[in-house]
Amino acid sequence: MCENSQLAELISLKGQVAVITGAASGIGRATAVRLAEAEAAVALLDVDETSGEAVKKEINFSGGKANFYRCDVTSNEECRSAVEKIISDFGRIDILFNNAGVIRRKSLVELNEEEWDLVLNVNLKAIYLLSRYVIPHMAKNGGGSIINTGSGWGLRGGARAAAYCASMGGTVNLTRAMAIDHGRDNIRVNCVCPGDTDTPLLHSEAAQLGEEKEKFLKEAAARPLERIGQPLDIANTVLYLAGGLSSWVTGSVLAVDGGGTA
């Protein structure tokens, strides 16, 4: 019974505050719900106010605690303001899940400059912007956990996804650099790299490539576990990286892709 109690404490996030970007849908939404189930209070960041408020209501209706903050994570001022509001409302930040992401399925010569900037800003620059305001609060409170969303295409290249691959490669190595710099403050920084996961982002890829969605999803399932991922697959991994079960894990890059990079 004692061992079970200790395990429950390792899994529980009670008393902690988690900030999640891209929280209105897909992996972000699933992770917000999962961390709330583990008793964390969750701060939901997204530009989609309607869906973000819906996730907030879902969590609060189920007995959790959530607030929604509209935030363009590519804006320095909006990231600074969001962190200030979260600290004012919750008093602390223990977990940061940098999850917001976009993709443009184009080769380098097909991309225009605006598309390149959009993908790099949302997927990579946003990690820098939000983390730089969160880390001092984590350090003041004695530590925390930062999880960055990467991709299998941060570990190897992919066709017609030049900007996305660049941003994901940057995310992987930025994670390592952050882990080195902030370990002294007991801040752990890790990267979860999903494979193709059943989210609006994945569905948008089929449209961008002009492919029939069902065929595209079937091809995406061609991996050892013979299925695409579900948002909860990633959410469960974030729960592990956020809490006490991973207390000596930092600077890691964890592929959660059904064996796709194997």
Residues marked active site are found at 164
- The position carrying tokens 């492919």 is 211
Whole-angstrom Cα distance, residue 66 to residue 107? 39
Query: Is the distance from CB of 17 to CB of 40 less than 8 angstroms?
Result: yes
Burial class (CB in 10 A: 0-12, 13-18, 19+), 113: exposed
Tokens of 203: 């569905």
* 148 beta partners: 98, 191
Query: Is the distance from CB of 250 to CB of 189 less than 8 angstroms?
Result: yes
> What letter would DSSP give residue 92?
-
Tokens of 50: 């309607």
The torsion angles phi and psi of 18, rounded to 5 degrees, stand at: -115, 135
For every residue of 73-86, DSSP letters joined together read: TT-HHHHHHHHHHH
Whole-angstrom Cα distance, residue 199 to residue 67? 23
Tokens of 84: 């200030």
Whole-angstrom Cα distance, residue 33 to residue 253? 23
Query: Is the distance from CB of 138 to CB of 87 less than 8 angstroms?
Result: no
